[in-house]
Amino acid sequence: MEDITKNDEVSVDNIGLHNAMEDLRNEGEREEDELAKENEYVKCETSELIHKEVVNDEEAYKLYNDYAFKCGFGIRKGKVCWRYDTKTIRQRFLVCSRAGLKDTKSGVPKAYTKLDQRCGCKAYIQFDVSKESGLFIVTKHHMIHNHPMVPLIQRHLIRSHRKVTVEQLHMINNLRSCGVGVAEAVRVLRKEAGGSANLGFAHRDTYDAVAAQRKKELDGCDSNQLIKNFTQR
């Protein structure tokens, strides 16, 4: 009889523990939902970009990127749908830079990992390409973000809004030909622009642009000669 009573007490304790765990889990889910609602961003109910028309893919990217800068988020290119008969673009999708989630299934340790900001944001814009005129027309624009927007004083640091222009790169190359280093050339451009916020790119973007231009100008004969020199040594 005593054993039966003890078993009943143990079962009652297990039920109480299970209920307590369920309450904690439900409370955690409610807190996550409330946090997601606080971080949710909706500019307005109707899009100012709907039915806008641009001539090509680059203009479509620029249109959405300019809109993203005003709101405070970055963008990146999404999927492209093609026509099977003519192999031309039928649809172009541009998504928020924080769309999707990082793939952690590989399990391979890396020596260096970048800080990942993706949080599964569903914001996107859809361009349908007219078969007759070839114009890119905005047909869908999902404006709800599940993350807060970047403040105005930090928006120039967003990746999609950073670019070294042709004129800036030309001036950097001219300064380099005069013996001025890349870092000093960037300081000159920053002073002329009136600060880093007006410069349009980050410091490391300059080295990437210079390296990309140097790679384009590199002749195959020069690289082959360089390999021969190392082989002889």
Task: Please check whether residue 193 lies inside any domain of the structure.
Answer: yes
Please give the pLDDT value at position 53.
Answer: 93
Query: Diameter of the chain by CA atoms?
Result: 99
Which structural domain, as residue segments, surrounds residue 14?
A: 1-38
Do the beta carbons of residue 123 and residue 72 sit within 8 Å? no
Same domain, 145 and 172: no
Same domain, 172 and 206: yes
In this predicted structure, the answer to whether residue 6 has a pLDDT above a threshold of 50 is: no
Please give the pLDDT value at position 30.
Answer: 60
DSSP letters of 163-195? ---HHHHHHHHHHHHTT--HHHHHHHHHHHHTS
Same domain, 142 and 67: yes
Task: Please check whether residue 59 lies inside any domain of the structure.
Answer: yes
Please give the pLDDT value at position 135.
Answer: 93
Same domain, 143 and 215: no
Q: Is pLDDT larger for residue 153 or for residue 5?
A: 153
> Rounded to two decimals, what is the model's pTM?
0.70
Please give the pLDDT value at position 12.
Answer: 46
Task: Please check whether residue 112 lies inside any domain of the structure.
Answer: no
Q: Which residues contact 101 (CB under 8 A, 6 or more apart)?
A: 118, 119, 120
Same domain, 124 and 187: no
Task: Please check whether residue 107 lies inside any domain of the structure.
Answer: no
Same domain, 94 and 142: yes
Per-residue pLDDT band for 156 (boundaries 50, 70, 90) equals confident
Percent of the chain with pLDDT strictly greater than 90: 26
Same domain, 30 and 73: no
Q: Which amino acid is at 175?
A: L
Task: Please check whether residue 106 lies inside any domain of the structure.
Answer: no
Lowest mean pLDDT among 24-28, 72-76, 126-130: 24-28
Per-residue pLDDT band for 2 (boundaries 50, 70, 90) equals very low
Same domain, 89 and 170: no
Same domain, 22 and 89: no
Q: How many domains does the chain have?
A: 3
Task: Please check whether residue 161 lies inside any domain of the structure.
Answer: no
Task: Please check whether residue 111 lies inside any domain of the structure.
Answer: no
Lowest mean pLDDT among 32-41, 114-123, 135-144, 198-207: 32-41
In this predicted structure, the answer to whether residue 61 has a pLDDT above a threshold of 80 is: yes
Please give the pLDDT value at position 76.
Answer: 93
Phi and psi torsions of 154, nearest 5°: -115, 0
In this predicted structure, the answer to whether residue 9 has a pLDDT above a threshold of 50 is: no
Query: What's the average model confidence in pLDDT over 54-70?
Result: 93
Query: What's the average model confidence in pLDDT over 71-99?
Result: 90
Same domain, 178 and 150: no
Same domain, 84 and 130: yes
Task: Please check whether residue 204 lies inside any domain of the structure.
Answer: yes
Same domain, 121 and 206: no
**Average of per-residue pLDDT values in the chain:** 80
